[in-house]
Amino acid sequence: MDPPNRWDARLYDDRAAFVTAAGHELVDLLDPRAGDRVLDVGCGTGELTALIAGRGAVVTGLDASEEMLATARARHPTLTFTAADAQALTYDAAFDAVFSNAALHWMPRLGDVVAGVARALDRPGRFVAELGGAGNTATVLRALRAVLPRLGEDPERFIRWNFPTPAACAALLERHGFRVRLDDGRRARLALLVDAVLRAARARAR
C-alpha cells in the first residue's frame, strides 16, 4: 500500500505557493491551444488548471486529494475536477496533452502513471511535466531513514516521494512510446525555483 497522501490546501498556499508559481513557465512549455483537450495530473488547488483553461484549452484537473479538490472546485467552479489516483488512470485516447507540475514525485508507482498517460493521449499527443529529481531532499531522507528505525518505525511507510534520475525517467517514457525532449530552459527554471525558495525562507524568518 502507498504511504498516505494528506494535504492542507491553506497550508499549501501559505508555504508552497512558489511551487505553483514556478509552474507558470511549464504552462508556456505546454503551449495550450484553443480547443486542446488537456489533463492536469495532480492539479492540487487548480491554479495551473485555470491558467491552462484561460488559454482556451478544455482542461480536466485530476487529483487524489479531496481536500485540494474542494479548494479547486470552490475557486474555479466552472472548471472540471476529478478525484482519482493518477497511478490508475482509465482514459483512452481522450486528451491531446497531459500536464503535471510538482506532482509526479508524490506518486510511488511512476511506471503505472506513465502507462496511464500513454493510454490517455490521443496520438501523437504531448506530455509536459515537471517533477523532483534524484538527490532532491537527500539529507532529509537520509535522516528519516536513519532515525525512524530507532523509534521502531519503518521509514518507507511515511516516505511517498520518488525522485528518479533523468536517465531513468527518459527510459521509462521511451518504454511507453514517448520521444523525450530535453528542455534547454532547465537552468533558468532551477534558478527561478531557488530564488523563490530563498524569498519564502526569508519571509518566514522575518
Ligand X SMILES: C[S@@+](CC[C@H](N)C(=O)[O-])C[C@H]1O[C@@H](n2cnc3c(N)ncnc32)[C@H](O)[C@@H]1O
Nearest to ligand X of 8, 146 (CB atom): 8
The residues that bridge with 121 in the sheet, in sequence order, are 95
Give the DSSP letter of residue 133: -
51 binds ligand X (CB under 6 A): no
Query: Judged by CB under 6 A, does residue 60 bind ligand X?
Result: no
Q: Does the protein bind ligand X through residue 116 (CB under 6 A)?
A: no
The span of 58-66, 118-126, 146-154, 162-170 binding ligand X (CB under 6 A) equals 58-66
Binding pattern for the stretch 12-31 against ligand X, x by CB under 6 A and - elsewhere: -------xx--x--------
| Helices first, then strands: H and E counts in the chain | 8, 5
Give the contacts of 72 (CB within 8 A, at least 6 positions apart).
Answer: 43, 44, 45, 46, 49, 61, 63, 79, 81
**In angstroms, what CA-CA distances link 92 with 71, 95, 104, 118, 125?**
28, 8, 20, 9, 12
120 is a site residue for ligand X (CB under 6 A): no
**Shortest distance (Å) from residue 106 CB to ligand X:** 4
Instruction: Classify residue 2 by its DSSP letter.
Output: P
Residues of the shown chain interacting with ligand X in the complex, contacts defined by CB under 6 A: 5, 7, 19-20, 23, 42-44, 47-48, 63-65, 68, 85-87, 101-103, 106-107
